[in-house]
Structure 1
Amino acid sequence: MYKKRWLFSLLSVLLILSGCAGFQTGKQDDGAAEAEADGKVVVDFWTFWGSEIRRPVIEKIVEDFNNSQDQIVVKHTFVPWGDIWTKELAAIAAGDPPDVVINDINATALRGQKKQAMNLSQFLEKDDISDRFYPELWESTLYEGDSYGIPFNTDTRILYYNKDAFEEVGLDPEQPPTTWAELEEYAAKLDKKNGENYERLGFYPLFGVNYDVWMLNASGENFVSKEGEVQIDTETNLETLNWLVEWKNHYGDNVINSVKSQIDSQQGNPFFTGKLAMFVNTPTFYTQIRDYAPDLNFGVAMLPEKEEGSGHTSWGGGFVAEIPEGSSHPEEAWEFIKYLTDQEAQEYWAVKNYDNVANIEAAEAAAKSSELPEKDQVVYQLAVDNMPNTLLTPYPLSAPDFPTLMNPEIDNVLLGKKTPEQALKDAQAAVENLAKENK
């Protein structure tokens, strides 16, 4: 899963840095033309939310905004996930961009640097809404101190565990592991073998997340600091990588690959069937439990910390609402963005989609919403509680595509081709060279 996440990150950067001339957004639809005839300003709002669940929710928010005033009409334009940002860049290059677009939060500063997203300081000076959002999210939208996007939604990573399996082996189902040492201890008790075959795995750290999450969990720091310092070859990262190799050697490739293939099938996830006792994923993973294993007796917890006091650091991402550079109606776009990220719209999105939102008050209200059943509330509340522990990884401006250099080195360790020491040293050198080239 996390190789895909890094690949998505790289794709996003490549799309941001590339140009794509010649794309035209097309003419306004009849509704937009009619709105202009009525003297209203039409704001073209692009999203990739076209599913039968999310599209009605965002369009209801748009409808509510349109009904809340008589000066602006927002037109929602759905553009598929694989096309939206390529087409946005082409539209910017053609001088005909949308007025608002939903974009990846981790590349917001990069788009600000490239003058693809509008500097929002002129609006924030009049309407400072920065305190609506989790600080980590807000910081990720800044380039040279100015925001280039307003946080919309987010996520984090948490630990799911099987309470019945805990009870079976004598573990307290209300006391999940809180440190890596406890995680190892619990996993050993939860492992269940029949001869040479595993009937149940206690835990494997690279199911659901990749190595980067555990390095962030251990260190609480990004791989490239805000000042541009590369901090890959560190003692903490070395300890983490050695720890991951020990887990891999404990279970072996055959067991790991067999279980992973079941996880990738989604509804056949071994956590649903009791064949995997603990599993790390996003809070929204709960919706799969709700759909495929409604009777599963499970609990949720923050990621265990490397050692007591080191911190339960987790990883998250998210999306922002941006005004592309060259928008024809930036003032009206800003009015819509304020509405889109205010408590009412954010809470509605959170509850209807079971999605983590950026607005603090909306997230806290959603966790207590009477529309959510008790189990839904428990998981959502933990997600809210986990946000102060959640670290985002904005693309460093000095080395935005550094994962393409780091990932192969870590893969070499897990494939047994390099030692952890050598891989981290080589990754450090490669990313430092990249940063020098970019300077």
Structure 2
Amino acid sequence: MIKKRILLSLVAVMLILSGCAGFQVGGDKAKTVEAEAEGKVVVDFWSFWGSEIRRPVIDKIIEDFNKSQDDIVVKHTFIPWGDIWTKELAAIAAGDPPDVVINDINATALRGEKKQAMNLSEFLEKDDISERFYPELWDATLYEGDSYGIPFNTDTRILYYNKAAFKEVGLDPEKPPTTWTELEKYAAKLDKKNGNTYDRLGFYPLFGINYDVWMLNASGKNFVDVEGNVEVDTDVNQETLNWLLKWKERYGDNVVNSYKSQIDSQQSNPFFTGKLGMFINTPTFYTQIRDYAPELDFGVAMLPEREPGNGHTSWGGGFVAEIPEGSSHPEEAWEFIKYLTDKEAQEYWAVKNYDNVANVEAAEAAAKSSEMSEKDQVVYQMAVDNMEHTLLTPTPLDAPDFPTLINPEIDNVMLGNKTPEQALKDAQAAVEQLVEENK
């Protein structure tokens, strides 16, 4: 009898403890336990999408995937932007990586070379989904001809302009500038000077984007190509830097710095208040206009080209879904990635987040979505159209850190410490040396 009571007491304690443990295992952990009990494979998916806007969207996509089949359960693990990739590398080194992770598209080939991301060729031989995506994005995922990540979302840079200000100074609000020369002329007309200050600045090229985008716009080429050829010190890049210096000298440091501080505060961006006539940014910048300046009468256009026929080249980046090397469930991870990058999930992400997606069919459908207002559709369609002119800058395998050698030289130009010719010559030599060291 005593032994029986002891046994019953032990069972009761175990039940209590198991109940407490079950209470403490909340959310995704509880789902994992339940899924494993049902014999399903649990795919651990890491992302940095934890905001009140993006988290519900990605969680809905995951929920839909989990309901779409009976063999796999995806568990979403949110890790903040500043930590996710450091933790991923540590997990890979420890032999316990996630099954899917969202990563930067421009370094995909580099991670392939370092065997941090899985070669996806065996999956693509059975399910070739490469045609889903913009070619520029797909090419950025390749290392030695094989893909190491599947494009998820992207971006580009477009010109926003104030239509009301155009009308005020006699410019056609339906005809934005198409060349650098027109851009200068339009900016001069839009300028509204009051003594030594400006009530309105027509345009400044280094608000919203940096010098490298203008060099890309001018040349249509990256600084370092896939073969390791360096094209930093070129006539076109010298011309571009001299052009940027003209703008800086025209307005002066005080005006530029004053406007820059307002732009950095977001809500008081001078473009919202009509104090800046034209501004370059990503298509998602439009969501800030919706929030902070809903009555603003504006238009969107491609980046002006250096000269007629030169091309409206813009710059973009983006993210991919990868299977880290060492994943415990690569086949199941692949099934989730296929779903994540297919039309339905991509269109849902695009519309709900107002974000540019990598799937061409989904992007084109999102631009016509009935859930978007007419203005939403106009800006999104410009983003879609602009992808044809958008270049990515994949990290060169022979020069992974080359921007750290160029940026200080360009800073010296803008500070007046070096001429464009000398700075580009020095940058060229430094990057060539880096390539030589890495070959």
TM-score w.r.t. structure 2 length? 0.93
Q: Which residue of 2 aligns with 1:103?
A: 103
Paired amino acid for 1:391: L
What residue is the counterpart of 1:15 in the other structure? none
Secondary structure of 1:233's aligned partner: coil
Q: Report SS of the residue matched to 1:81.
A: coil
Deviations 1:213-233 (A, max 9, x none): 000000000000111100000
Alignment partner, residue 251 of structure 2: 251
RMSD: 0.6
Amino acid at match of 2:202: G
Give the equivalent residue in structure 2 for 1:154: 154
SS of 1:52 mapped into structure 2: coil
1:33 CA drift (Å): 1.6
Residue pairs, 1:129-144, within 5 angstroms: 129-144=129-144
Secondary structure of 2:108's counterpart equals helix
After superposition, what is the alpha-carbon deviation per residue over 1:91-117, rounded to whole angstroms, capped at 9, x for unaligned?
A: 000000000000000000000000000
- Distance apart, 1:30 and its partner CA: 2.3
Runs of 4+ in 1 over 3 A off after TM superposition: none
Amino acid at match of 2:241: L
2:16 corresponding residue in structure 1? none
Q: Tell me the equivalent position of 1:203.
A: 203
* Structure 1 partner of 2:412: 412
CA distance in 2, matches of 1:297, 1:259: 21
Q: Secondary structure at the match of 2:127?
A: coil
| Higher CA-based Rg | 2
Q: Deviations over 1:115-148 (max 9, x none)?
A: 0000000000000000000000000000000000
1:311 partnered with 2:311: yes
SS in 2 for 1:31: helix
Structure 2: runs of 5 or more not aligned: 1-27
1:38-85 C-alpha deviation (Å, 9 max, x unpaired): 010000000000000000000000000000000100000000111100
Q: Give me the TM-score of the superposition, normalised by structure 1.
A: 0.93
Pairwise CA distance, 1:182: 0.2
Aligned-residue identity in percent: 84
Matches of 2:421 and 2:171, distance apart in 1: 36
Equivalent position SS for 1:273 = coil
Mapped partners of 1:153, 1:253: distance in 2: 36
Letter in 2 for 1:357: V
1:215 aligns to what?
A: 215
Distance 1:153 1:31 in 2: 28
Q: Which amino acid aligns with 2:69?
A: Q
The letter of the residue matching 1:158 is: I
Q: Secondary structure at the match of 2:126?
A: coil
1:370-409 → structure 2 map (5 Å cutoff)? 370-409=370-409
Aligned to 2:56: 56
How many residues of Structure 1 are paired with residues of Structure 2 in the alignment? 412
2:236 aligns to what? 236
CA distance in 2, matches of 1:275, 1:400: 39
Deviation at 1:34, TM superposition (A): 1.2
- Give 1:182's aligned residue: 182
Q: Which residue of 1 aligns with 2:23?
A: none
Cα deviation, 1:208-256, whole Å, max 9, x if unaligned, reads: 0000000000000000011110000011101000000000000000000
Q: Distance in 2 between matches of 1:128 and 1:302?
A: 32
Aligned partner letter, 2:281 = N
Shift of 1:196: 2.0
Shift of 1:29: 1.6
| Equivalent-residue separation in structure 2 for 1:368 and 1:236 (angstroms) | 39
What aligned pairs does 1:414-429 form with structure 2 within 5 A after superposition? 414-429=414-429
Q: CA deviation at 1:259?
A: 0.4
Q: Which amino acid aligns with 1:425?
A: K
